[in-house]
Chain A
Amino acid sequence: MKKLILTTAVLALTAGAAMADVVRMGTEGAYPPYNYIDDNGEVAGFERELGDELCARAGLTCEWVTNDWDSIIPNLVSGNYDTIIAGMSITDERDEVIDFTQDYYPPTASVYVAASEGVDLAGGVISAQTATIQAAYIAESGATLLEFATADETIAAVQNGEVDAVFADYDFLLPVVEASGGALMFVGDEVALGGGVGMGLRESDSELRDKFNAAIDSMKADGTLNALLAKWFGEESPGY
């Protein structure tokens, strides 16, 4: 086996150069309905269908890879994959480090979910996923922020009473609240955050960004993007 690994490593080191362009699509795989791992262990969700369609329209061969949310930007800039398509909102801070395509999902609403009515959202303990716009918002809101590496853990923290409420995208929390059978509920008001969801690319990759921008344009124009949004986020989701 060791020999096998060595040989393949050597093969990988010496393999030839000119081959078809493969675009590696980096996603998190833990944020339904945007992206998640289905029962077969494959990447699925809104962004999987969207990404496959965009690649088809741009004439690219795409391959899906998953990466921790925490290190998703460092691994993009060091070239381990070529795009981030992981429900990432376009913000100024991120835009300084990477480039974004135009948005394929309009600015999203973020909401609080708690186990009971009347929790103190302004001064209580709120969970959010690390390095998200929601975490940044809570940090400035005056409430105590408790960060978790995955979105799933932020909900578990509400269920076991570690925090008063979780703050995340409405679309992510809606299926969770529905499935909880009344144990979890929306509290407080919706908050509009971010500049829409787009694909992240390296700043030096402007050619690839233009290709994806054109593909998103064509999907917006013929209504397929709206159909996809309605399928994954419900009919009342804001379209284009």
Chain B
Amino acid sequence: MFEYCADPASLAGFKWLSCYLTTGKHMGLYWAVGTVLLLLAITAPAALLFGFGGAAAARSHFRPLSWFGKGYIAIVRGVPDIAFFLFFVIALDQGFEWIRHQIKCPDWDQPIRQGNDFIVCAAAKLPLSSSPQVYHEIYGFFLAVLTFALVFGAFAANVLYGAMRAVPHAQIETAEAYGMSHRQAFWRIMVPQMWVYALPGLSNLWMVLIKATPLLFLLGVEDIVYWARELGGMKTPQFTDYPHADWRVWYFLALLVFYLAFTHVSEIVLARISRRLSHGQATLAGEKQRKGPRGRGKAAA
């Protein structure tokens, strides 16, 4: 990266480190940090959406929909994450390719399963084997987002389901007494009030989601833990300009700091959101806000 990096063996101290930390390989690590953040940024709202859909379905008065919602929650919550990530993604990928195969190659006469091989026509490949590597990576990322959203969506659905039931029933009855329809009462009375009950559970989920990102590597996406292991492993002088001993402990220490800092910032933000959501609510925290610090003193007196 820098001009003086042409011969790293002659460098020492800070200069060596500045060259070492800017190799193309380290850029892979920094890129992976971005990937992880992007995954979280997309997955969190997507999981919330799945969760909301699942919870709404589970509450539905229409029986099959309610069974579907409850089934989704029960099955995904019950299957270990790692099994889900290993099995489900390959199945999902093959499912997509199978559908495309049926559409694009109707006159294909060979079986799709030949022994251990899964073979669809070249036009049904996803992405096409001729498309550049970047498409393969985007597709892998897309599968990762979908899988994470499905898994965490089921947990979010359970949290939201509980939160919906926690909204005082009198509120709904009052809304209906005012002539609101079932749907109006749901969207205008229940949904705005449920978040304060859902937040503790959702914030837990968010923390777990942050820590679950290393599962990305199971899906073929090179995440920060993969790079930390790869970069930290012992390097012998034949194969690199920057030989070093086993430095994994330093890389994993950096990861520790990264994850701790990230979860700490999350906690601060979540505490702030919780304060805002409590505003005007008939909960203990909401009451405290209403009365203010002085009011509380009076009440005690």
Contact = CB atoms under 8 A, between A and B. Distances in A.
Nearest to B93: A78
Q: Which of B118, B222, B236 has the most CB of A within 10 A?
A: B236
B35 to A, nearest CB: 11
B10 interface: no
Interface residues of A, number: 58
Nearest to B226: A68
Interface of A: 1-2, 5, 8-9, 11-13, 15, 17-24, 29-30, 32-33, 36-42, 44-45, 63, 65-68, 71, 74-75, 77-80, 82, 97-98, 150, 152-153, 155-156, 159, 175-176, 178-179, 202-204
Given A15-B127, A203-B117, A32 B220 contact: no
A5 B25 contact: no
Contact of A8 (B123, B138, B220, B248): B138
B226 to A, nearest CB: 9
Given A1-B38, A30-B233, A204-B117, A19 B125 contact: no
A93 to B, nearest CB: 13
B29 to A, nearest CB: 9
Given A15-B128, A24-B129, A203-B115, A30 B104 contact: no
A201 B248 CA distance: 34
A161 to B, nearest CB: 13
A179 B125 contact: no
Interface string B240-273: 1111001010000000000000000000000000
Nearest to B115: A203
A153 B217 CA distance: 17
Interface residues on B, range: 35 or more
B133 A79 contact: no
A25 B25 CA distance: 20
14 contacts: A8-B135, A17-B128, A23-B129, A32-B238, A36-B239, A37-B230, A78-B118, A80-B93, A150-B233, A152-B229, A152-B233, A176-B236, A203-B114, A203-B116
B13 to A, nearest CB: 19
B19 to A, nearest CB: 10
Interface of B: 23-25, 27-28, 38, 41-42, 90, 93-94, 97, 100, 104, 114-120, 122-123, 125-133, 135-136, 138-139, 141-142, 145, 217-218, 220, 222, 229-230, 233-234, 236-243, 246, 248
A22 B129 CA distance: 6
A68 B233 contact: no
A178 B116 CA distance: 42
Nearest to A81: B129
A24 B122 CA distance: 13
Nearest to A14: B100
A58 B230 CA distance: 32
B24 A39 contact: yes
Contact of A176 (B132, B220, B234): B234
Nearest to A67: B220
Nearest to B241: A39
A42 B136 CA distance: 17
A63 B183 CA distance: 54
Given A5-B138, A37-B230, 4 more contacts: A12-B131, A42-B24, A68-B217, A204-B114
B11 to A, nearest CB: 14
A39 B29 CA distance: 12
Contact of A80 (B25, B220, B242): B220
Contacts of B234: 152, 155-156, 176, 179
A75 to B, nearest CB: 8
A41 B27 contact: yes
Please name the 10 residue pairs, one residue from A and one from B, whose CB atoms are nearest each other, closest first.
A40-B24, A17-B123, A152-B233, A19-B130, A179-B236, A41-B24, A175-B236, A41-B25, A12-B127, A22-B130
Contacts of B42: 1-2, 5
Contacts of B237: 179
Nearest to A151: B233
A67 B119 CA distance: 20
A5 B142 contact: yes
B222 to A, nearest CB: 8
Contacts of A63: 132-133
A112 to B, nearest CB: 18
Contacts of A155: 234
A20 B41 CA distance: 36
A12 B135 contact: yes
Contacts of A45: 239
Nearest to B116: A77
B152 to A, nearest CB: 17
